[in-house]
């Protein structure tokens, strides 16, 4: 179990919700005196975490819906269960006119977002990432999720979030980050930095292409 926990935590170093969940489950396993106790602790704690996670998203959606004005036009970036829940809850209250969702290159998680919003009956505009500033004057607010929240309140999220936040600030549009408490990175209290996950350049340029000899491809933050 310790080996499995370390392997899982190492897969997504930036998204602290995964290691936080693993640590929560492993606390029960580590305190067990027998194999049977460890098995029960694993099941009970995993079930409790899932239940608390779903309840947290519901509560976040309830709170955020109060901050969304009537006939709102919303922009969102990447695919966040919490952010989508906020938009859907406001839509159920008759507050949402339409949503602008970014494509989120290079893995295009925006496709998942527009599918979920469309399934909920919400009109969605699918825009390229670089068009966020162009469409910002049309929206009333921005809602995103986050991979991690630090001790000073900073958030770490999908690449491109910072540019959208700056565009929102420039246009004087509210920027809401929807996050569960398990997105908090406790080690940042001690000054530890959140590691940023870097991916191979092939995810951007494709495996069939090669960079020119004198160019230096930056890895993509996923």
Catalytic residue among 78, 119, 129, 167: 78
Question: In the annotation, is 9 catalytic?
Answer: no
Predicted local distance difference test score (pLDDT) of residue 168: 98
Catalytic residue among 6, 44, 119, 147: 147
- How large is the average pLDDT for residues 68-85? 97
Q: How much is the pTM? A: 0.89
**In the chain, % of residues over pLDDT 90:** 82
Q: Please state, in angstroms and rounded to a whole number, the distance separating the CA atoms of residues 138 and 8.
A: 41
Question: In the annotation, is 78 catalytic?
Answer: yes
Q: Does domain 1-222 have CATH number 3.40.50.10470?
A: yes
Q: What are phi and psi of 133, to 5 degrees?
A: -65, -35
Predicted local distance difference test score (pLDDT) of residue 206: 77
Cα torsion angle, 92, 104, 74, 97, sign: negative
Distances, alpha carbon 26 to alpha carbons 1, 2, 38, in Å:
8, 8, 9
Q: How far apart are the first and last CA of the chain?
A: 27
Predicted local distance difference test score (pLDDT) of residue 205: 82
pLDDT-derived band at 198 (thresholds 50, 70, 90) equals: confident
- How large is the average pLDDT for residues 68-93? 98
- How large is the average pLDDT for residues 102-111? 94
> pLDDT higher for 199 or 88?
88
Q: pLDDT tens-digit profile of 130-186?
A: 999 999 999 999 999 999 999 999 999 999 999 999 999 999 999 999 999 999 998
Of 40-54, 67-81, 181-195, the one with minimum mean pLDDT is: 181-195
Predicted local distance difference test score (pLDDT) of residue 197: 87
């Amino acid at each position: 179990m310790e080996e499995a926990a370390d392997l899982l935590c190492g897969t997504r170093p930036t998204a602290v919700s995964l290691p936080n969940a693993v640590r929560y489950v492993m606390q029960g396993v580590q305190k067990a005196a027998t194999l049977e106790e460890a098995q029960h602790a694993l099941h009970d704690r995993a079930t409790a975490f899932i239940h608390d996670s779903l309840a947290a998203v519901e509560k976040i959606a309830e709170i955020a819906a109060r901050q969304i004005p009537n006939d709102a036009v919303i922009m969102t970036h990447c695919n966040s269960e919490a952010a989508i829940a906020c938009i859907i809850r406001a839509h159920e209250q008759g507050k949402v006119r339409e949503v602008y969702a970014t494509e989120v290159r290079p893995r295009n998680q925006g496709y998942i977002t527009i599918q979920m919003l469309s399934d909920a009956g919400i009109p969605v505009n699918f825009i390229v990432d670089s068009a966020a500033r162009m469409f910002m004057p049309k929206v009333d607010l921005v809602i995103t999720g986050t991979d991690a929240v630090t001790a000073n309140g900073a958030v770490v999220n999908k690449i491109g979030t910072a540019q959208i936040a700056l565009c929102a600030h420039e246009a004087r549009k509210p920027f809401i980050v929807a996050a569960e408490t398990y997105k908090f990175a406790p080690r940042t209290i001690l000054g530890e930095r959140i590691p940023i996950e870097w991916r191979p350049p092939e995810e951007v340029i494709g495996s069939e292409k090669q960079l020119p000899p004198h160019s230096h491809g930056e890895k993509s933050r996923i």
